Amino acid sequence: MQQLEKVAWDRHSYLFDGQRRFLVSGEFHYFRVPKEDWRRRLRLWKDAGGNAIATYVPWLIHEPEEGRFAFGPEPWRQVEAFLELCAEDHVHVIARPGPYQYSELRGNGVPLWLFEKYPQLLATDLAGKPRSRISASYIHPIFLEKTKAWFDQVCPLLAKYTLDRGGPIAMAQFDNELMGIHEWCGGWDYNAQSMGFGREDGRYASFLRQRYGSIEAVNEAYGTKFASFADARPIEDKGSRSNEDRRRVRDYMEFYFSTIGEYARILMQMMRERGLDVPFVHNSANPGMNAYFREMMRQTGGQVLLGSDHYYTLNMNWEQNNPTPLYASKCYYSMEMLRLMGCPQTVFEMPGGSCSDFPPVTPSDLRACYFMHAALGMKGVNYYILTGGPNPPGMGTTSDIYDYNAAIAADGTVRPLLQVQKEFAQFLHGNSWLAEAGLDSDFSIGLDWDHALAGNYFANRGDLEMSSADAWLFWRKGMYVSAMCGSWSAGMVDLHSDDLLSSTDRPLWVAASVCMARSVQERLVKFVSEGGRLLIAPVIPYLDENFRPCTLLRDFLDGASVSECSGACLRLNAGPVENVQLSGRLFKAQTLPSGAAAMAREVNSGATCGWKVARGKGSLIWLGLQWMHTMNEHSRMVEYLLAECGVRSRVVECDNPNVWTTLRSGAGRRMLFVMNLFSSPMVANIRVPSAGEGKPVRYELPPMTVQPVEIR
């Protein structure tokens, strides 16, 4: 029998028998799809270009009563028969044995008896109130003990079917969308037993002890009067206004994330010890949660492939019902974050239908969504779901039939969406060189991970000039959107990594709040000193991420400081670009660095709102504007500022700000992606200067289309 290819991955892409290829997976639940139709649907999927399927192995289904495990006789419990079939049909499997599944199953896929018999394991708020009736506290000893009993059964069973043992299982996912069951039910977990409140040797006390050394230091940091570590408690207030409170909330956030890392390590160890020794994957529930996983990634030391789930609508309460440019922005930063965490960018739940019939998730919208992901560098995809079927009796939370408007309907009918997925798979397989291609960029946008998390502790700026949540918004809705509308290609770089220092060839733009980690400030000073061209806006930080004074960057700029412009009608002249509309706040220079040359002024007062200065081998521009991209003038301002950073040509020239482009290159080949993510037709004239001196090419783009064009 032919062997299934070995699957591995590195930071660039997946490797199938060592060859760089795209992962093209579809969610296929053996417990829903009728057994007699497994093979036909698997073959439909292979025919459509799929090279993997993913499936939950739901605890709920296989341990109906505590201690009674069932992997048959009902067809929907026969996971082994299914895995055998996948092996026979040469389809890789991503196995997702929980403990949590979600998947519109009762108990989110965890047996209900667990919560009923052991309510003490529920995640709670600070007052001890359960987050919900089915939200577990991950590291509660009883939850871990019961998980272990489940893994004792399921992992050895799955282990028989790993690739190494001739089976189809290429990867395993622990749990599902970690932290979602807490966050969506009101907030993080404060289960007193799990966190060890009140105990000197509790997790929380240990965390504080390690961070602060003494309870006096904790009290100094928090403005509290705890008698001991056992006495210490967090607060929950995301809108904290004092630095002490912000610090206390932020610390709890980091502590909570560390418990997630601990939980992930425990699960991985359990799985490995039971023979399930395949690469591990996990899925962040949405782009906004990707940053939550940095600590887990640190604790697991590069052993986990983190992907993200990228829905654009699941019902009327969602902001959009099609893949808009703002959705594209979200997917961009999501995938760039994954890349910067060392993972080949994977969307583990790519919309492949919707659990709601209305508003519809249509094949043509999805086509645009899929190709847009290729444009932004996706390396692996798993459609949620590829196909469904009847829920096992009493197991589903929605209707009896889990159809999801998927490519293959619950009843086995093929829908037009499968053809779209086939077309996309053909594109990916026909251009597997794209799997190791990178973005051709004009400049870099710096990612400050603290900003991505700041909504949890620093959304309220109080008396401070600029919060980190403001900076995160500015980064997404100002810098990035202005770049895309202005036809610049912006790559993302990690301000927390020394890789930054090897990218001085490209200007770096940083959205700053008053807080910036000491290490980041150090790195930025070094970046400029070594020849980098930095733009920082709209403030110059003077605190570190813990709200302690830290003025490395300011000192580097001779104590440069800024204050907010006030007045009824502020506007900016940025070099030759006049009357730039604000759509955000404006700051003026209070103290300028020596040698700084003004380059932007408030129109009415003439106050200096931007300056440029040379330092070391490089240069630094400060601009006092926090904008949201609304006007074409913003793009013209960016053009001027980039020119001042030495960027005078573009990778792609596109004359329509509503048509976004990317150019990806590798292995001597280049692919241009042209995107119209609006409901109206668009026309754009596009030129890739490096392709020669030719005239621009005219593109007529129907509504909601993404067109890939190989550039020779």
DSSP bridge partners of 52: 25, 92
**CB nearer to its own copies: pick between 398 and 413:** 398
**CB nearer to its own copies: pick between 307 and 390:** 390
Tokens of 381: 């995809």
**CB nearer to its own copies: pick between 350 and 355:** 355
Residue 356 phi, psi (nearest 5): -105, 140
Torsion angle in degrees (nearest 10) through CA of 298, 303, 304, 305 = 120
Question: Is the CB of residue 413 less than 8 Å from the CB of residue 473?
Answer: no
Residues lying near its own copies in the complex (CB under 8 A) are found at 106-107, 112, 133-134, 315-317, 319-322, 324-326, 355-360, 362-365, 394, 396-401, 477, 481, 485, 568-569, 571, 578-581, 583, 604, 628-633, 657-658, 678-681, 702-704
State the nearest-atom distance from the C-beta of 629 to its own copies, in Å: 6
Exposed e or buried b for every residue in 94-133, given b needs 16+ CB within 10 A?
A: bbbbbbbbbbbbbbbbbbebbbeebebbbbbbbeeebbee
**Alpha carbons 490 and 441: distance in angstroms, whole number:** 5
Q: Give Cα separations from 592 to 128, 512, 596 (angstroms).
A: 52, 17, 6
What spatial distance separates the first Cα and last Cα of the chain, rounded to whole Å? Answer: 41
**Alpha carbons 241 and 35: distance in angstroms, whole number:** 57
**CB nearer to its own copies: pick between 400 and 700:** 400
**CB nearer to its own copies: pick between 130 and 307:** 130
**Alpha carbons 634 and 479: distance in angstroms, whole number:** 9
State the nearest-atom distance from the C-beta of 354 to its own copies, in Å: 9
- Alpha-carbon Rg for the chain, nearest whole angstrom, is 26
**CB nearer to its own copies: pick between 16 and 627:** 627
Question: Is the CB of residue 109 less than 8 Å from the CB of residue 102?
Answer: yes
**CB nearer to its own copies: pick between 103 and 382:** 103
Question: Is the CB of residue 424 less than 8 Å from the CB of residue 367?
Answer: yes
Question: From the CB of residue 359, how many other CB atoms can be counted at a distance below 10 Å?
Answer: 15
State the nearest-atom distance from the C-beta of 539 to its own copies, in Å: 22
State the nearest-atom distance from the C-beta of 209 to its own copies, in Å: 39
State the nearest-atom distance from the C-beta of 482 to its own copies, in Å: 9
**CB nearer to its own copies: pick between 178 and 677:** 677
Cα angle: 702, vertex 703, 708; to 5 degrees: 60
**CB nearer to its own copies: pick between 566 and 649:** 566
Nearest partner of 553 among 468, 651, 622, judged by Cα? 622
Tokens of 334: 């999501």
**CB nearer to its own copies: pick between 554 and 634:** 634
State the nearest-atom distance from the C-beta of 365 to its own copies, in Å: 5
State the nearest-atom distance from the C-beta of 448 to its own copies, in Å: 21
State the nearest-atom distance from the C-beta of 403 to its own copies, in Å: 10
Exposed e or buried b for every residue in 459-477, given b needs 16+ CB within 10 A?
A: bbbeebbbbbbbbbbbbbb
Which H or E run contains 84?
Answer: helix 79-88
**CB nearer to its own copies: pick between 234 and 657:** 657
**CB nearer to its own copies: pick between 544 and 639:** 639
State the nearest-atom distance from the C-beta of 481 to its own copies, in Å: 7
State the nearest-atom distance from the C-beta of 45 to its own copies, in Å: 24
State the nearest-atom distance from the C-beta of 324 to its own copies, in Å: 6
State the nearest-atom distance from the C-beta of 704 to its own copies, in Å: 4
Cis ω on the peptide bond leading into residue 141 (within 30° of 0)? no
**Alpha carbons 238 and 457: distance in angstroms, whole number:** 5
Tokens of 81: 């028969």
Interacting residues of 648 by C-beta distance below 8 A, sequence separation 6+: none
